[in-house]
Amino acid sequence: MATDDSRQAKIEKLESKVETAKKKLALERQKQNKSDQKIQTRKKILIGAFYLEQFEKNPDMERQVMTKLETWLKRDHDREVFGLAPLPKQGQT
């Protein structure tokens, strides 16, 4: 029959393995998230390049997208990139 000390040692050893596995899992999730973010950023760059090229070929398309950006972009810094006026501050008309 196992002693209480040996049972406690087994429990501690298993708890240690669980903690190690949790750390490894968290690290792998972090790596996956970073990889997903890189892919997402690359997609944004490629889509942006596609639309910029299309704008040069089709001014109507550029006007349509700019109309949508006018309502979609909320930060003045972002609006400035497209030559859009800043939005009025709340309380201003």
Distance CA 21, CA 14 (A): 10
Q: Is residue 87 part of a domain?
A: no
Q: Tell me the whole-structure pTM to 2 decimals.
A: 0.64
Angle between helices 4-57 and 59-72 (to 10 degrees): 140
Contacts of 2 (CB under 8 A, 6+ apart): 10
Q: Is residue 66 part of a domain?
A: yes
For residue range 7-55, list pLDDT tens digits in order.
999 999 999 999 999 999 999 999 999 999 999 999 999 999 999 999 9
Q: Is residue 90 part of a domain?
A: no
Q: Is residue 3 part of a domain?
A: no
Distance CA 87, CA 93 (A): 10
For residue range 49-89, list pLDDT tens digits in order.
999 999 999 999 999 999 999 999 999 999 999 999 999 98
pLDDT of 10:
95
Q: Looking at residue 83, what DSSP letter applies?
A: T
Give residue 59's domain range.
9-81
